[in-house]
Structure 1
Amino acid sequence: MSTAANLKIRQAFANRLVSIMQATPEVGSQVRLAKAANLSQASIQRFLSLASSATIDNVAKLAEALGISPGELLEDPASRIQYDRSAYALLSAEEKRGIELFVAFTIHQHFHGGMGGSNGVV
C-alpha cells in the first residue's frame, strides 16, 4: 500500500476515534481510554497524531473499551444507515428481514427506476 493511502487510512481512523471519544464521556480522554483498552496513553497519542498505525488487536481493544464494534472505528459513518440499534435488536427475525427487503427494494428502485420488466425479485 502506498504511503499516501496508508496516511489516509490512519487519518480516517484518528478522526473516527476522536469523534467516538467525544461521544463517549466515560472514556473520552486519552488517559481513560488507554486504561479501559489496556493500552498506553502514548499509544493513543501516536494513533491520534498519525505517528503509528493501530494493529488489529489494538483496534479490537479500543472498540471494546468504547462499547462499539471494531468496524465502527474503521468505517465512514456517512455510509451507514442511522437508526436505533437497540430497538432494532428487539425486533423479530421476520421484522428484520422485512427491513432488509425494504432497503434492497428502495436501492433497486433508485438505480433501475421501477420494476420495468423485472420479475419483482430484489
Structure 2
Amino acid sequence: MPKALPIVDVSAPICCAPVSAAPMSDDTALQVALRLKALADPVRIKLMSILLTADGGEVCTCDLATGVGLAESTVSHHLGQLKKAGMVAPTRRGMNVFYSARTDSLDALRLVLDPNCCT
C-alpha cells in the first residue's frame, strides 16, 4: 500500500526561496509538491485555464462542467482539490457556487520554480 502523504495546510500561497537558490528542506519540498500534485491533472489544468481567461474572473460550476464536458459533481471534486491547494476561491451566490483563480498562489508557485520566468 502506498505511503500516505501527511496532512498539510496548503491553502495559503507558498512562500520560500526559489528551488535554484539552495537545496530545499524536506518541509518546503513537500509544500511545493502538494501544490504541484493538485495541478497534475489535465482536467484541473483545463479548469484553471478557463478560470484564468474568464470574463469577470469567475465562473459558475455549472458552466465549468460544460466547459470540460464532465458532470458537475466530478468538476466539484476537482475544484475541491484545487481549493485545498489554494489555487481557487469559491463564492456562493444562492444555489450557485462561482470559482475564481487565486493568481497570488499561482504567481508564488511560479516564482518558487523559476524566479526569472516572465520578467
After TM superposition, the score normalised by the length of structure 1 is 0.31
Which structure: greater strand fraction?
Answer: 2
Which structure: greater helix fraction?
Answer: 1
**Largest Rg, 1 or 2:** 1
Higher relative contact order (CA 8 A, sep 6+): 2
After TM superposition, the score normalised by the length of structure 2 is 0.31
